[in-house]
Amino acid sequence: MSLTRQDVEKIAHLARLSITEDELPVYVSALSSIVNFVHELSKVETANVAPLAHPLDGQHQRLRDDVVTEGDNREKYQANAPSVAAGLYVVPRVIE
Amino acid sequence: MLHNLSIGELAARLNSRELSSVELTRHFLSRIDRFGPALNALITVTARQALSDAAAADVRLGRGESGPLLGIPLIHKDIFCTEGVRTSCGSRMLDNFIAPYDATVVARFKAAGAVMLGKANMDEFAMGSSNENSYYGPVKNPWNSNKVPGGSSGGSAAAAAARLAPLTTGTDTGGSIRQPAALTGVTGVKPTYGRVSRYGMIAFASSLDQAGVFARSVADAAPALQAMAGFDSRDSTSVDAPVPDYTAALARPLHGLKIGLLREFFEGLEPRNAALIHDALAVYKELGAETREVSLPHLPSSVPAYYVVAPAECSSNLSRFDGVRFGYRCENPVDLLDLYKRSRGEGFGPEVKRRIMTGTYVLSAGYFDAYYLKAQKVRRLIVDEFRAAFTQVDLLVGPTTPTPAFDLGAKIDDPVTMYLNDIYTIGANLAGLPALSLPCGFIDGLPVGLQLIGPHFSEDRLMCAGHRFQLATDWHTRLPAGYA
User: Can you give the pLDDT at residue B260?
Assistant: 97
- Residues 1-40 in A contacting B (C-alpha not used; CB under 8 Å): 3, 7-8, 11-20, 23, 26-27, 30-31, 33-35, 37-40
Q: What confidence category does residue A93 fall into, taking pLDDT thresholds of 50, 70 and 90?
A: confident
Which positions of B are annotated as active-site residues? Answer: 77, 152, 176
The one-letter code for the residue type at B307 is Y
Cross-chain residue pair A54–B237, CB shorter than 8 Å: yes
Chain B CB contacts of A40 under 8 Å are 301, 304
Q: What confidence category does residue A96 fall into, taking pLDDT thresholds of 50, 70 and 90?
A: confident
Quote the mean pLDDT of chain B: 97
Range of the domain at A39: 5-43
Q: Which of A16, A29, A32, A60 to mutate to test the interface with B (most CBs of B within 10 A)?
A: A16
The total of structural domains in chain A comes to: 1
Min Cα distance A69 → chain B (Å) is: 11
Tens digits of residue pLDDT in B156-211: 999 999 999 999 999 999 999 999 999 999 999 999 999 999 999 999 999 999 99
Chain B CB contacts of A35 under 8 Å are 358, 361
Answer whether A46 touches B (CB < 8 Å). Answer: yes
Tens digits of residue pLDDT in B311-366: 999 999 999 999 999 999 999 999 999 999 999 999 999 999 999 999 999 999 89
Residue A26 within any structural domain of the chain = yes
Contacts within 8 Å (CB) and 24+ apart, B208-211: B208/B173, B208/B174, B208/B306, B208/B309, B208/B310, B208/B313, B208/B429, B208/B430, B209/B126, B209/B171, B209/B172, B209/B173, B210/B171, B210/B172, B210/B173, B210/B429, B210/B432, B211/B80, B211/B105, B211/B169, B211/B170, B211/B171, B211/B172
In sequence order, which residues have a C-beta less than 8 Å from that of residue B33 and are 6 or more positions away? Answer: none
Answer whether A61 touches B (CB < 8 Å). Answer: yes
The rounded distance, in Å, linking the Cα atoms of B426 and B439 is 19
How many angstroms separate the most distant Cα atoms in chain B?
A: 70
Answer whether A94 touches B (CB < 8 Å). Answer: yes
Q: What residues form DSSP beta bridges with B293?
A: B261
State the DSSP code for B138. Answer: P
Residues in chain A: 96
SS3 state at B438: strand
Residue A75 within any structural domain of the chain = no
The rounded distance, in Å, linking the Cα atoms of A70 and B418 is 42
User: Can you give the pLDDT at residue B40?
Assistant: 98
Chain A CB contacts of B299 under 8 Å are none
Backbone phi, psi, residue B258, to 5°: -100, 115
Cross-chain residue pair B419–A37, CB shorter than 8 Å: yes
Chain B CB contacts of A56 under 8 Å are 192-194, 239, 432, 456
Min Cα distance A66 → chain B (Å) is: 14
Whether the complex's predicted ipTM is more than 0.85 is answered with yes
Residue A33 within any structural domain of the chain = yes
Answer whether A42 touches B (CB < 8 Å). Answer: yes
CA of B384: which chain A residue's CA is closest? A55
User: Can you give the pLDDT at residue B414?
Assistant: 87
CA of B418: which chain A residue's CA is closest? A34
Q: How many CA atoms lie within 13 A of B337 on its CB side?
A: 4
Of A20, A35, A92, nearest to B336 by CB-CB distance is A92
The rounded distance, in Å, linking the Cα atoms of B305 and B375 is 5
Tens digits of residue pLDDT in B264-311: 999 878 899 999 999 999 999 999 999 999 999 999 999 999 999 999
Say whether pLDDT at B89 is over 90.
yes
In CATH terms, the superfamily for domain B2-257 is: Amidase signature (AS) domain (3.90.1300.10)
- List helix spans (H) across B63-210: 104-111, 154-161, 178-184
Cross-chain residue pair A34–B354, CB shorter than 8 Å: yes
Say if CB B394 and CB B252 are below 8 A apart: no
Min Cα distance B71 → chain A (Å) is: 29
Of B193, B324, B380, nearest to A89 by CB-CB distance is B324
In sequence order, which residues have a C-beta less than 8 Å from that of residue B343 and are 6 or more positions away? Answer: B321, B322, B323, B327, B328, B329, B330, B333
CA of B428: which chain A residue's CA is closest? A55
Chain B CB contacts of A5 under 8 Å are none
Chain A CB contacts of B93 under 8 Å are none
Tens digits of residue pLDDT in B23-71: 999 999 999 999 999 999 999 999 999 999 999 999 999 999 999 999 9
Quote the mean pLDDT of chain A: 93
User: Can you give the pLDDT at residue A95?
Assistant: 79
SS3 state at B444: coil
Min Cα distance B422 → chain A (Å) is: 14
